[in-house]
Amino acid sequence: MIDERGSYARRSRITTRTVDLGGTHLNLDPDDTDTPRAQVAVWYFVAATFVFAAPALLGADAAPWWRITSIVVGFVLIVAGGVQLGREMTQRRDAGAPRSSSGPPDTH
């Protein structure tokens, strides 16, 4: 950044910490609550899909222990994704709630 004197001014603090990825808004500031957080739960469900499909993708004649293991790991990922989804939904609900809960909202 160039100041009035034509010299480069140093910025002591980064003021913007967000990135625009073609319509997707990525928040890099953990203290900023105005922008939505990244969704992690969906990746648990995507991983579970691939784990469930792994025996069929890697060979139709997979050993029974491999099929059972993939089913168990897939269900564990689904449960973990459900727990994470609950956390994300709670955070979104709490972020949208009014800051003070001392009474009904003011409707002037």
Q: How far apart are CA 81 and CA 85, in angstroms?
A: 6
Note the pTM of the prediction, 2 decimals.
0.56
Q: What are the residue boundaries of the structural domains of the chain, listed by start?
A: 39-96
| E strand map for the chain | 18-21, 24-27
pLDDT (average), residues 5-31:
53
70 within 8 A of 51, measured Cβ to Cβ: yes
Q: How far apart are CA 88 and CA 43, in angstroms?
A: 13
Average pLDDT taken over every residue of the chain: 75
The predicted-structure confidence for 17-27, as pLDDT tens digits, reads as follows 555 555 555 55
